[in-house]
Chain A
Amino acid sequence: MQPGLYHILFISAALFFIGVYGFFTRRNLITMLMSIELILNSVNLNFIAFNKYLWPEKMDGLFFTVFIIAIAAAEAAVAIAIIINLYRSHHSIDVEQAEELKN
């Protein structure tokens, strides 16, 4: 059976919500970052699928995906630098430990 647009959209929507769920429930910073990567990859799948099935004559979706991958790398680099610095001062990468700022 040839996979259709709906199959791919189903997978990408599932990935998106797994990412959102992980972001809200996980307390480890690296895992939270991984959840965000999941969200971004679900978006990539979306773009590719729409491009292939609905608008094959225009390449907008493909280009967008390439840019998302590049930006995600930059974002992860900065986030990991910040997390390393946080680890130096807190000796932990658990968000529950980072609680100096409270109202």
Chain B
Amino acid sequence: MTDFITLMKHELLITVIIFLLLFVKIGKGMKNENLLTLIQVLLLLNAIAGFFFNESGSLFADMFYTSPLVAFQKNVLNIGVYLISLLFGDWLKKTPHLPEFFILLLSALLGMFLLISSGNLLIFYLALELATIPVAAMANFDLAKKRSSEGAMKMILSSAFSSGILLFGISLIYGATGTISFGELVNQINGSPLQVLAFVFFFSAFAFKLSIVPFHFWTADVYEGSPIATTSFLSVISKGAVAFIFITALYRVFGGLYEIWYWMLAVLAVLTMLTGNLFALRQQNIKRFLAFSSIAQVGFILVAISGNYTAGTSSVVYFVLIYIFSNLAAFGVAAVIAEKTGKENIDDYKGLYKTNPFLSWVLALGLFSLAGIPPTAGFFGKLFLLTAGAEKGNFWLIIIAGLNMVISLYYYLKVVRAIFMDKNENPIEPIQVSASVKLGMIICALGIVFTGLAGKLFDYIQSLIA
């Protein structure tokens, strides 16, 4: 019994918060401002509690397993969710259904925790659905807006289709091996044609969730249509969780097919980086711009995954942590500006520095970090990703990734130039940033500056991978 509580601590805490919110919803006794503060405090406590008493072990006949590494991955996601509750406070306070929003968000987070911990294809599938269906409902949260429901429709249809493909792959895996438990699957994988076919189906479902290139079409539309809080959750937390389980699935379950998926990964990484970058060049809407930039970032993650397990895992976990800070900083500023002025175009940001120096610096830091410019953490994140990719000795992949970093530099700096240097007759008027949003932005900025300099952190993550 005590085993159950310590091992499933993360999941249980989230479940308790969901139940609390349900009761609050039934009671109808709280104003949005107070409720949001309560949620922020709960999520902060939850994020802190996640760091203690992390042990390895498995439950329910190996269907659920956890280790200090898995716990750390969950903590990274917890921090991201706490930051989301801070950064999008202005929008959240106004929405009439605040408890529902967090119930959906935390249910999706619970799904992601189970996803990272899953040791069986059944739990894996259930967790994946729990992690996507609530997000589709969250995408439709601006009920009156046409774009929001259109984005949500695209999201639910494409995710249902991708889970259909995933299931077909799983059914073939079951047919070929007779088991759905990860532990037993490892020994059964021998590269027979049926297994390879099943693996391709399985892989393409992951490609949908991570928006790897031939399967990326839903991404930009869903990102643009959804409320920014949902968009940021989708692009940061959900991508991170799927990337974590992707590495585990590839190395720990399908390690026997390494020769096959190495080339799939390498080709898709190149395509993903190129497409993400080239489309990001021509975007005017800031949310669409960040959507394509997130596609390009996934390409870099794929490069790292293709290296080997230890280097790939440590660099991806480290990168996702940095990515949470930098992307949330950018989304947070975009959300504040969109909420106060309704402007979402990059052209509107011209001359922002004259009127809103604080917002400009936070956005610039976030974009520098996404581009990977040296003093920021993003540079170290990218450096470790590419180093991990180079483990295999395939240097043309690293060269292409390096060239893509140069392309990405151009469009990130274009936004920075618009903010700091371009002149504008009527720039965005000075915006009063509320205290909690400011706190979130400062945490992001500190994260961007100091995560990269704290070399201990990377060593710590490496020490977790036993």
Q: Which A residues form the contact surface with B (CB < 8 A)?
A: 16, 19, 23, 29, 32-33, 36, 39-40, 42-43, 46-47, 50, 54-55, 58, 60-61, 63-64, 67-68, 71, 74-75, 78-79, 81-83, 85-86, 89-90, 95, 98, 100-101, 103
Max chain B C-beta neighbours (<10 A), residue from A36, A58, A75: A75
State the CA gap A71–B124 with chains docked (Å): 13
> What residues of A have a CB within 8 angstroms of the CB of B121 in the complex?
64
B77 contacts A by Cβ under 8 Å: no
Q: Identify the closest chain A residue to B169 (Cβ).
A: A43
State the CA gap A32–B224 with chains docked (Å): 23
Residues A98 and B171 in contact in the complex (CB < 8 Å), given A64-B122, A67-B125, A74-B129 = no
> What residues of B have a CB within 8 angstroms of the CB of A50 in the complex?
171, 174-175
- Name the contact of A68 in the complex, choosing from B157, B167, B225 (C-beta under 8 A): B167
B178 contacts A by Cβ under 8 Å: yes
Q: Identify the closest chain A residue to B157 (Cβ).
A: A32
Which residues of chain B from 137 to 185 have a CB within 8 Å of any chain A CB? 137, 140, 143-147, 149-154, 156-157, 160-161, 163-165, 167-168, 170-172, 174-175, 178-180
> What residues of A have a CB within 8 angstroms of the CB of B311 in the complex?
none
State the CA gap A46–B168 with chains docked (Å): 8
The contact sample of 11 A-B pairs, CB cut-off 8 A, is: A36-B160, A39-B165, A46-B172, A61-B171, A64-B125, A79-B156, A79-B160, A82-B137, A82-B152, A85-B143, A103-B279
User: Closest Cβ of chain B: how far from A31's Cβ, in Å?
Assistant: 11
> What residues of A have a CB within 8 angstroms of the CB of B282 in the complex?
103
State the CA gap A101–B224 with chains docked (Å): 7
User: Closest Cβ of chain B: how far from A91's Cβ, in Å?
Assistant: 11
- A75 and B152 contact, CB distance less than 8 A: no
Max chain B C-beta neighbours (<10 A), residue from A23, A50, A78, A82: A82
- A82 and B136 contact, CB distance less than 8 A: yes
B283 contacts A by Cβ under 8 Å: yes
- A89 and B178 contact, CB distance less than 8 A: no
> What residues of A have a CB within 8 angstroms of the CB of B143 in the complex?
85
- A60 and B179 contact, CB distance less than 8 A: yes
> What residues of B have a CB within 8 angstroms of the CB of A79 in the complex?
136, 153, 156-157, 160
Q: Which B residues form the contact surface with A (CB < 8 A)?
A: 121-122, 125-126, 129, 133, 136-137, 140, 143-147, 149-154, 156-157, 160-161, 163-165, 167-168, 170-172, 174-175, 178-180, 220-221, 224-225, 279, 282-283, 288
Cross-chain pair count, CB within 8 angstroms: 122
> What residues of A have a CB within 8 angstroms of the CB of B133 in the complex?
74-75, 78
> What residues of A have a CB within 8 angstroms of the CB of B161 in the complex?
23, 36, 39
User: Closest Cβ of chain B: how far from A48's Cβ, in Å?
Assistant: 10
> What residues of B have a CB within 8 angstroms of the CB of A16 in the complex?
168
- A75 and B168 contact, CB distance less than 8 A: no
Q: Identify the closest chain B residue to A70 (Cβ).
A: B126
- B156 and A86 contact, CB distance less than 8 A: no
Further 17 A-B residue pairs, CB within 8 A, beyond A43-B164, A50-B175, A60-B179: A16-B168, A36-B164, A39-B168, A43-B170, A47-B171, A54-B175, A67-B125, A67-B126, A74-B129, A75-B160, A75-B163, A82-B149, A82-B156, A85-B143, A86-B150, A89-B144, A95-B153
- A43 and B126 contact, CB distance less than 8 A: no
User: Closest Cβ of chain B: how far from A102's Cβ, in Å?
Assistant: 8
- Name the contact of B220 in the complex, choosing from A58, A68, A103 (C-beta under 8 A): A103
Max chain A C-beta neighbours (<10 A), residue from B136, B145, B279, B282: B136
Residues A43 and B156 in contact in the complex (CB < 8 Å), given A50-B175, A78-B133, A103-B283 = no
Q: Identify the closest chain A residue to B167 (Cβ).
A: A43
- B129 and A46 contact, CB distance less than 8 A: no
> What residues of B have a CB within 8 angstroms of the CB of A68 in the complex?
125, 167
User: Closest Cβ of chain B: how far from A42's Cβ, in Å?
Assistant: 7
- B168 and A43 contact, CB distance less than 8 A: yes
